Each structure stands twice: as C-alpha cells, then as structure tokens.
Amino acid sequence: MGGEVNYGSNFRTTSLLCVPIWTAGKGNNSNLGERLVGDGEISGCVLLQNRAENSGLNVNEEEGEGRFKGVDEALLKCFCDFVGVAIMVVDLMEVSKAVHGEFNGMANKIDELTQGDGAIGVANDMIKLEEMTSASRNKALHSLFDIEKELDSQSAVIEALLH
C-alpha cells in the first residue's frame, strides 16, 4: 500500500486486511484454513483499514508499525468464523420458524376434524352421500328391470301376432 490519500475525506490508507465470512453451503470452510466438509459459501467479508500503531498487542514481528500483523489476521479469521456460525444460526431459525408454522397449521386442521362433531359430521355426510348414490343406483336398476320386462312382454305379443 503506498499510502494513497482519499481527497474527498483527506484520509490516508496505510494498510488493509480483508477476511471472508464463510457459511455452510454444501459444507463449510473454516477461515483457519481447515476444510471441514464440502465447499461452503462466502456470505460476506470484514475489511479493516489502517491498523493503529499502538494496538496494545506485544507481538515480536518484523513488520512495520501501522501494518497488520499475522496475529491480527488470525484474530480476524477467528472472529469471521463466529460471524459465519451466527449467520447460519439465523438461517436455521428462519427455516425452523417456517416448519413450525406448517406443523401448527396441520395440528389445527387435525383439531378441527377431531373436536366435537366435526369428524362425526363429515363421516355422516359421507354416509348420506353413499346412501343417496346407492338409492339412485337401485332405482336405476329397477327401472332397467322394468324396461326389460316390458320389452319381453312386447316381444311375446309380437311373436304371437306373427304366428
């Protein structure tokens, strides 16, 4: 970084540190470089700009003052792992709420059908419909038998007239 100046804010950038936030896609990648399962997905990133020269961390590294050090990167990766887990928990809570709502809807329907005379009423309506259908079928069959008898008697009359 060459210490460029943003002329809009008069701010000088001396160092940057950017770390991805991994969440589970097909699996999960850890920011510590350990591949847990699958490939995971990047949900976002954390960007740090201009490390304070006196951060209070006593680390014996040869990097210049105001520059991010290896310990800074390790701490930010650890932080991003926790952020990724938090994002996954929120996503799982959303799915859990949706599934819970569906189960409540089904439970309410079951209650409606089993409370009081609801189920009995539905069963009685089905029995009445079957009885009416059965009665209609019987009536139609009797009509067919009557027509068949009438045709037989007319056939006998026609047969007698022809002989």
Check: pTM over 0.85? Answer yes or no: no
Residues 143, 153: Cα–Cα separation, whole Å: 15
Q: How many helices, marked H, and strands, marked E, lie in the chain?
A: 2, 6
Residues 19, 69: Cα–Cα separation, whole Å: 13
The closest alpha carbon to 17, from 86, 77, 87, belongs to 77
**Pair 126, 105 in one domain:** no
**Pair 12, 80 in one domain:** yes
**Pair 23, 69 in one domain:** yes
**Pair 9, 73 in one domain:** yes
What are the DSSP E strand ranges found in 9-121?
Answer: 11-12, 16-23, 28-29, 35-37, 41-49
**Pair 69, 120 in one domain:** no
Q: Which one of 75, 92, 109 terminates a domain? A: 109
Would you state the torsion angle of the CA atoms of residues 150, 154, 157, 159, taken in this order, to the nearest 10 degrees? Answer: -130
**Pair 64, 120 in one domain:** no
**Pair 120, 105 in one domain:** no
The DSSP bridge partners found for residue 41 are 23
**Pair 101, 129 in one domain:** no
**Pair 128, 92 in one domain:** no
Distances (CA, A) of 34 to 53, 76, 104, 112: 31, 15, 40, 52
The residue with greater pLDDT, 7 or 60, is: 7
**Pair 97, 134 in one domain:** no
**Pair 96, 20 in one domain:** yes
How would residue 142 be classed by pLDDT, with cut points 50, 70 and 90? confident
Question: In the predicted model, what is the mean pLDDT of residues 26-37?
Answer: 46
Give the total number of structural domains in the chain. Answer: 2
Q: Which domain holds residue 137?
A: 116-163
Distances (CA, A) of 7 to 4, 78, 94, 116: 9, 34, 44, 76
Query: Is residue 15 within 8 Å of 77, Cβ to Cβ?
Result: no
Query: Is residue 57 within 8 Å of 76, Cβ to Cβ?
Result: no
Q: Which one of 70, 87, 109 terminates a domain? A: 109
**Pair 99, 143 in one domain:** no
Query: Is residue 23 within 8 Å of 36, Cβ to Cβ?
Result: no
The DSSP bridge partners found for residue 35 are 29
Q: For the segment 52-108, what is each residue's pLDDT rounded down to a tens digit?
A: 876 555 555 455 567 899 999 999 999 998 898 888 888 888 888 888 888 888 888
